[in-house]
Chain A
Amino acid sequence: MADCGEADGPVKKDDIVRAKNEGKELTKEEKQRLRKEKKHQKKQKDEKRPSERVKEKKPVAPSQPVATQPPTQKAPTVLPASAPIPVPVSGAPSYSSPAPSPADKPAKSRAEQKAERRARQEADRASKQQSCSSSSKTKAPPSELNPVVKRLPEHVQVDDPAVVKRLTKKFERQQIPLRSDYDYKVSLFSHLHQYSRKAPLTQQLSIPSTVIHPSIVRLGLQYSQGIVVGSNARSVALLHAFKQVIRDYTTPPNEELARDLVNKLKPYISFLNQCRPLSASMGNAIKYIKKEISNIPSQFKEEEAKTKLQTCIDRYINENVVLAAKAISKYAIEKISDGDVILVYGCSSLVNHILCEAYDKNRKFRVIVVDSRPRLEGREALRRLVQRGISCTYVLISALSYILPEVSKVFLGAHALLANGYVMSRVGTSQIALVARTFNVPVLVCCETYKFCERVQTDSFVSNELDDPDDLMVTRKGKTQLENWHDVSSLRLLNLVYDVTPPDFVDLVITDLGMIPCTSVPVVLRIKNLEQ
């Protein structure tokens, strides 16, 4: 029991770590590897059985009920929809069988031990051959299931000095200045970056920027100053900047465009990451661009390649942002009926688009805009809706439970949809969903499919973004109460940007592929992977 438990712990963490990373090829690979392993475990068992028949019957029997435990614990976290149950079960005997064997060692004969060892080595060799990138240890069995030990992403390990050193070295190599953190962090979030808006990264760059393309510098500034905000806007701006970069790019002699351009983009991406952490949609856009660049056939001339890339970018934006918005509004309008009172939170470009389209199609509804400090984005949403002619009410989030009895539906936007069905959105969204569930008001999340992300997260602590805490200071009647918050040693300000909403609180997700329940997100991800 005990050793299965402890074998479980690291396995779960590794699984979570692995699943968190963006490598979609891992899951396919992993599945293949697991299937091969299943076969080899069975072979191993058959080999072992003649030598340890008597001894194994006892350990196998107690291991079976133990084996059933880990699958139920592991299944939801690893591969919710696709992992077959036999896979963990095949893993479990591999945990449990060596555990009784050291205890029984004096009882076994030398030949049995040798045979056991040989069988184990063969299984390891076979699994090594199948998986291309595994680094399995020959001794510890848990590594057969997790041969690849992936590192945690660096942006959630800021309090680890080794990681910080590695990051500094990387930036030195790429000739990008390092943006120093604003050190007054809440200890619970000390593993995340926190930057001050008063110390922009451009302070350390030379003014006619030669290392980084000027349009990328401009983009970074716009991100860090909050001029380009919102998942869609940031991705579109990023692709626009990449178009400029590609236009101004010339292949150096003796280099191939496909390889060199990707290397050129890496420092730009690090730069943008420091200005403001990349969003999930931006990450997917970058992956797409890198794939497109690497797939350029080498016989293309430079001009042809460049035009091809520009058209790819245009097509990506058109399909995933513009047309997706049209498709989503078509589905969403079916859900809006006359006389509805719709609640929206903050300023989501997609939700605003849906409401404007619904109004143009002569649906009669009114909107309640809920807003929160310090960003007060709801004001911009309010302005856009009222400009169209929609009748709106504006409240702050503290008045949510007061206003909810009037509401018939809640429309929320999303920053990203995670692989376990959680919705990552602006901080406050989970509260809205929670209170709406309490009042039995349906919650509909609108999200394009290009924002779907392979990550898995169940809380808002592990991976989040810390905004400038000085934004929380407000001056009323000439007085700023928090002006000298640095001097109060026991006070720290926290300005979170995102939070995650569990799928139990979300009734429907409207995407450009249709209206799906929250838990079907991995299915959509799998379909998209197959398409590509």
Chain B
Amino acid sequence: MELQAVLMAAGGGSRMMDLTYNTPKPLLPVGNKPLIWYPLNLLERVGFEEVIVITTKEVQKMISTDPKVKLDVKMKLDLVCIQEDADMGTADALRHIQQKVKTDVLVVSCDLITDAALHEVVDLFRAHNATLSMLMSKAHEFTETVPGQKGKKKTGEQRDFVGVDGTGKRLLFMANEADLDEGVVIRKSIMRKHPRMHIKTGLVDAHLYCLKKSVVDFLADNKSISSIRGELVPYLVRKQFSKSTNSPKVIDETHQNLKKNDSNVNLEIQISSRDEELLHLTQERSCWNDHRGDMSDAYHGGRLRCYVHIMDEGICYRVNTLAAYIEANRLAPKLFDEPAVHPSAVVSERCLIGADSIIGASCQISDKTSIKRSTIGVSTTVREKVKVTNSIIMHGVTIEEGCNIQGSVICSNAVIGRGADIKYCLVGSAQRIEPDALPFETLLRPPCLRSTLTPTSTHRSTHTQCLFKQLNRNNTCLC
């Protein structure tokens, strides 16, 4: 077998707590399908037959019991549970399943929605015998207004600096702004080998990695690395140019140093493959070089190589913030061919449903409603004379007559009272909006979670009881 797929679905969604406090992130509905369906569909389309899914017990329970969560995939899913409170990073999770990993792995994150041609990434991995191959995409500006934020730009989402060579495929440098003190520091060894480097900042990391098996074994010995994206990838990119990886003498010394548990040495042992001699002969006789202008051999004699495929066009989103979630809901229908209006939905004749809206199963849409550019979830009831524009309505919501919902996100099992006019709000799970309420750019959640809120949102939360009758523009609670 060539590649094993590993899906990381244990993340908590820390950047969109408003949505994930009740529903775990992998099961958030996007276009009326759980978020985890998208990477699973991608893997299925490409031809994988088995996937190892690393997730929490809660998600596993919900997948097996909840009838609303239907995964519809033909692949065999091997669910591995980890403790939710163990605070495991992605690399820790890989270490956890080291026994199951028999060949090279393809690690995918559960919040990736993309239509990328995966064979491009895997071809780089195969053709150059690379240790790491990843997917990145040009970032798109999010144009939709995000509910709950008064149009303020999100504070310093840390930038990533990605350095690639002239062909745009070889990954030379990767650092996050948070790890850099004052400026970007590039080692002379890199510049000597690759004098022309293109540094890009506007790229989105799709968190899709092809890793060699030796890397997983290396992780097992090095317990200090806990995140793939944050620590492992920059480490591997740096290691490409380190002297110890490239010097041929290391192989002899490693047999003596095996007990020392030196991380550099361990990675080196595992990189060399069987039949090294024949491969070396092939490379010697082949008149190909990946660069020109200096006197060194192909790949500068380096054995650790990292490659990246940068997508120019196509959909590639990571649904880890609210803005991304909303954007993904807009674009998700393009990824699958199901009809916009589910056949089991009861839609009355006198309602206006726009072409880009999605109606979920078992919905009840009454007369004289207008639904434009919105997503209505499963088992939602929409009464008469309701106008829903640019919104996302999740499962089990009841919207009474005469409501006007614009640019909002209504989470599952909420109840919107009669005549409410909701603009750019986020209504949490199982909340009730009183009739004739007029919330504007607010987030509504039960108070018990105030302690776990992130600093930017604490001052926005409102107490459910003192809703909107006396709300001023600053959205602070007056009771």
Q: Known: A208-B1, A227-B127, A227-B128. Is A383-B295 also a contact (CB below 8 A)?
A: yes
Q: Which of B129, B281, B285 has the most CB of A within 10 A?
A: B285
Chain A residue numbers with a CB within 8 Å of B49 are: 208
CA distance A221 to B49 in the complex (A): 23
B68 at the interface (CB under 8 A from A): no
Q: Known: A240-B279, A317-B278, A387-B295. Is A206-B46 also a contact (CB below 8 A)?
A: yes
For this complex, into which size category does the number of interface residues on chain A fall? Answer: 35 or more
Chain A residue numbers with a CB within 8 Å of B123 are: 200, 202, 221
Question: Are A217 and B288 in contact (CB-based, < 8 A)?
Answer: no
CA distance A234 to B281 in the complex (A): 11
Q: Which of B2, B3, B122 has the most CB of A within 10 A?
A: B2
Tell me the smallest distance from the CB of B214 to a CB of chain A, in Å. Answer: 16
Q: Which residue of B lies closest to A376 (CB)?
A: B292
A381 at the interface (CB under 8 A from B): yes
Q: Interface majority SS on A: helix, strand, loop or mixed?
A: helix
Partner of A222, one of B127, B284, B289, B292: B127
Q: Which residue of A lies closest to B124 (CB)?
A: A221
For the complex with contacts A205-B47, A218-B127, A221-B126, 20 further pairs of A-B residues with Cβ separation under 8 Å are A203-B117, A206-B46, A207-B122, A208-B2, A210-B1, A214-B126, A217-B2, A218-B126, A229-B288, A230-B285, A230-B286, A233-B287, A234-B286, A236-B281, A236-B285, A239-B278, A240-B278, A240-B279, A322-B281, A377-B287
Q: Known: A217-B2, A227-B286, A229-B287. Is A236-B128 also a contact (CB below 8 A)?
A: no
Task: Report B405-450 residues with CB < 8 Å from chain A CB.
Answer: none
Tell me the smallest distance from the CB of A40 to a CB of chain B, in Å. Answer: 51
Chain A residue numbers with a CB within 8 Å of B79 are: none
CA distance A103 to B78 in the complex (A): 85
Question: Are B288 and A200 in contact (CB-based, < 8 A)?
Answer: no
Q: Which residue of B lies closest to A375 (CB)?
A: B287
Partner of B282, one of A205, A207, A236, A322: A236
Question: Are A379 and B292 in contact (CB-based, < 8 A)?
Answer: yes
CA distance A321 to B285 in the complex (A): 10
Q: Which of A229, A243, A380 has the most CB of B within 10 A?
A: A380
Question: Are A228 and B275 in contact (CB-based, < 8 A)?
Answer: no
Task: Report A330-374 residues with CB < 8 Å from chain B CB.
Answer: 346-347, 349
Question: Are B119 and A237 in contact (CB-based, < 8 A)?
Answer: no
CA distance A232 to B288 in the complex (A): 13
CA distance A160 to B118 in the complex (A): 35
Chain B residue numbers with a CB within 8 Å of A229 are: 286-288
CA distance A207 to B5 in the complex (A): 10
Residues of A within 8 A of B (CB): 200, 202-203, 205-210, 214, 217-218, 221-222, 225-230, 232-234, 236-237, 239-240, 243-244, 317, 321-322, 346-347, 349, 377, 379-381, 383, 386-387
CA distance A230 to B278 in the complex (A): 15
Q: Interface majority SS on B: helix, strand, loop or mixed?
A: mixed
Q: Which residue of B lies closest to A203 (CB)?
A: B119
Q: Known: A203-B119, A349-B287. Is A244-B275 also a contact (CB below 8 A)?
A: yes
Question: Are B282 and A237 in contact (CB-based, < 8 A)?
Answer: yes
Tell me the smallest distance from the CB of A370 to a CB of chain B, in Å. Answer: 14
Chain B residue numbers with a CB within 8 Å of A232 are: 285
Chain A residue numbers with a CB within 8 Å of B287 are: 229-230, 233, 346-347, 349, 377, 380-381
CA distance A230 to B289 in the complex (A): 13
B21 at the interface (CB under 8 A from A): no
Q: Known: A207-B46, A208-B49, A222-B127. Is A380-B288 also a contact (CB below 8 A)?
A: yes
Contact flags B365-385 to A (C-beta < 8 A → 1, else 0): 000000000000000000000
B48 at the interface (CB under 8 A from A): yes
Tell me the smallest distance from the CB of B317 to a CB of chain A, in Å. Answer: 21
Question: Are B288 and A226 in contact (CB-based, < 8 A)?
Answer: yes
Task: Report B201-222 residues with CB < 8 Å from chain A CB.
Answer: none
Q: List 8 A-B contacts (CB under 8 A).
A: A202-B126, A206-B47, A214-B2, A222-B127, A226-B288, A240-B278, A244-B275, A349-B287
Chain B residue numbers with a CB within 8 Å of A203 are: 117, 119
Question: Are B282 and A383 in contact (CB-based, < 8 A)?
Answer: no
CA distance A240 to B127 in the complex (A): 15
Question: Are B127 and A236 in contact (CB-based, < 8 A)?
Answer: no
Chain A residue numbers with a CB within 8 Å of B282 are: 228, 233, 236-237, 240
